């Protein structure tokens, strides 16, 4: 495998791709993660031969052995990033090398082989090229889902000796149709997401599996999302099930919990910190307790709160519900700082705002 340019991908065209008129109808209202493109990228890894057989090929179900390690011990990691249609018709990715590096870090934590950065980037670029007709215009984008799982048929407990790396792609619409409404979040009392020494900083399916019962509880309480506290003291706010969290104070400064093993290092989180600092805002990466969040919001010191991640970009948090009593942020409908940061970020991603940080990687 060529370390600098990535491997050579064999191309197998789909024998019967989705017809253009059917695709056009699907792209009108794709929702999130329900519609998929014609192709996928795959690379195999075996202990004896390393990375091999890089392919762009028709998207289709896998045949995996019922004893495949992933089905028993959840040795699996993933990534999520988007390809955007630029105003000039081209297609670009946003900081994909960050996803490549995080994928390597996740692999290391899950005792899996590290995919070279060039192979990660090339797999995505070649898939976009094959399925470029599926990149929506307007508010939409093509969500890319790279993932890797242990395929070795073996029930013993140790890192597997065979893996599949795969990229699938899904055209998605604006996350919140009809405007960006503020979400309501539920404070999870009974469950935590990640403990010190655990897998909180790795993007692995297991973290999500463990968060679903808390997410279901949030929905039962009429909330959109769940917010987790730290596992050691059950006191400090960490993050939502799949998004990082920010506070906006009355002086315009921002605060977000620090990374350190239990929080997922979001690419959006990092971009927001950079953009806010460039605007002259103070940004504190310091932990804050749920009690402080509540007291400062009720005293009017916290003007806004928002969550951020690739899928929904920036989402205002309007209300927090908790067994011990909740509270409302500002007027409950989101605020100007989050909206301005969202607009700037989306503008950069779509090529409408100058990319002064070198974040946009043009693919086509």
Residue 99 CB, nearest approach to ligand PLP (Å): 7
CA distance 362 to 364: 6
Of 75, 310, 315, 349, the one binding ligand PLP by CB under 6 A: 310
Would you call 74 exposed, middle or buried from its count of C-beta atoms within 10 A (0-12, 13-18, 19+)? middle
Of 309, 318, 330, 334, the one binding ligand PLP by CB under 6 A: 309
Strands 39-46 and 50-58 turn out to be antiparallel
Would you call 322 exposed, middle or buried from its count of C-beta atoms within 10 A (0-12, 13-18, 19+)? middle
Of 18, 33, 58, 80, the one binding ligand PLP by CB under 6 A: 80
Of 59, 203, 294, 303, the one binding ligand PLP by CB under 6 A: 203
Residue 347 CB, nearest approach to ligand PLP (Å): 17
Q: Which is nearer to ligand PLP, 55 or 239 (CB)?
A: 239
Q: Which is nearer to ligand PLP, 17 or 96 (CB)?
A: 96
- DSSP lists the bridge partners of residue 307 as 245, 315
Q: Is 141 in the site for ligand PLP (CB under 6 A)?
A: no
Q: Which is nearer to ligand PLP, 264 or 341 (CB)?
A: 264
Q: Looking only at residues 224 through 263 of this chain, which bind ligand PLP when binding is defined by CB under 6 A? A: 239, 242-244
Residue 203 CB, nearest approach to ligand PLP (Å): 5
**Which of helix, strand or coil describes residue 218?**
helix
Cα-based distances in Å from 230 to 196, 206, 234, 241, 254: 9, 18, 5, 13, 20
- Do 274 and 98 form a contact (C-beta atoms < 8 A)? no
Phi, psi of 177 (to 5 degrees): -75, 145
CA angle 205, 342, 254 (to 5 degrees): 85
Per rule CB under 6 A, count of chain residues that contact ligand PLP: 13
Q: Looking only at residues 263 through 282 of this chain, which bind ligand PLP when binding is defined by CB under 6 A? A: 264, 266-269
Q: Which is nearer to ligand PLP, 56 or 243 (CB)?
A: 243
Q: Which is nearer to ligand PLP, 145 or 281 (CB)?
A: 145
- Nearest Cα neighbor of 83 from 172, 154, 9, 196 is 172
Q: Which is nearer to ligand PLP, 9 or 228 (CB)?
A: 228
Q: Which is nearer to ligand PLP, 38 or 79 (CB)?
A: 79
- Nearest Cα neighbor of 172 from 346, 23, 27 is 27
Residue 230 CB, nearest approach to ligand PLP (Å): 14
Question: What is the contact surface with ligand PLP in residues (CB under 6 A)?
Answer: 80, 203, 239, 242-244, 264, 266-269, 309-310
């Amino acid at each position: 495998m060529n370390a600098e340019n990535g491997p050579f991908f064999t191309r197998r065209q789909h024998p019967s791709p989705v017809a253009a008129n059917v695709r056009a109808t699907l792209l009108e209202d794709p929702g999130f993660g329900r519609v998929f493109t014609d192709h996928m990228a795959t690379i195999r890894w075996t202990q004896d031969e390393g990375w091999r057989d890089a392919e762009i090929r028709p998207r289709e179900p896998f045949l995996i052995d019922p004893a495949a390690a992933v089905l028993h011990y959840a040795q699996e990691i993933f990534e999520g990033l988007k390809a955007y249609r630029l105003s000039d018709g081209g297609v670009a990715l946003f900081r994909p090398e960050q996803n490549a590096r995080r994928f390597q870090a996740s692999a290391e934590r899950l005792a899996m082989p590290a995919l070279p950065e060039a192979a990660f980037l090339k797999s995505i670029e070649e898939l976009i090229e094959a399925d470029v007709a599926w990149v929506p215009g307007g508010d939409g984008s093509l969500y890319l889902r790279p993932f890797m799982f242990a395929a070795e048929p073996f029930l013993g407990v140790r890192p597997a000796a065979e893996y599949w790396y795969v990229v699938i792609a899904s055209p998605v619409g604006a996350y919140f149709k009809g405007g960006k409404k503020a979400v309501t979040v539920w404070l999870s009392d009974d469950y935590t997401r990640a403990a010190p020494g655990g897998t909180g900083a790795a993007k692995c399916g297991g973290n999500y599996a463990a968060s679903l019962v808390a997410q279901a509880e949030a929905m039962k309480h009429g909330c959109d999302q769940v917010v987790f506290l730290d596992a050691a003291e059950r006191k400090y706010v960490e993050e939502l099930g799949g998004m990082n969290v920010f506070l906006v104070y009355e002086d315009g400064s921002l605060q977000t919990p620090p990374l350190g093993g239990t929080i997922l290092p979001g690419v959006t989180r990092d971009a927001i910190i950079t953009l806010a600092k460039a605007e002259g805002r103070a940004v504190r990466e310091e932990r804050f307790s749920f009690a402080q969040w509540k007291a400062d919001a009720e005293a009017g010191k916290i003007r806004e709160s928002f969550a951020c991640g690739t899928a929904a970009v920036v989402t205002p948090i309007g209300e927090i519900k908790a067994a011990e009593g909740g509270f409302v942020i500002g007027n409950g409908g989101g605020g100007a700082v989050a909206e301005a940061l969202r607009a700037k970020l989306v503008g950069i991603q779509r090529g409408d705002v100058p990319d002064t940080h070198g974040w946009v990687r043009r693919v086509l």
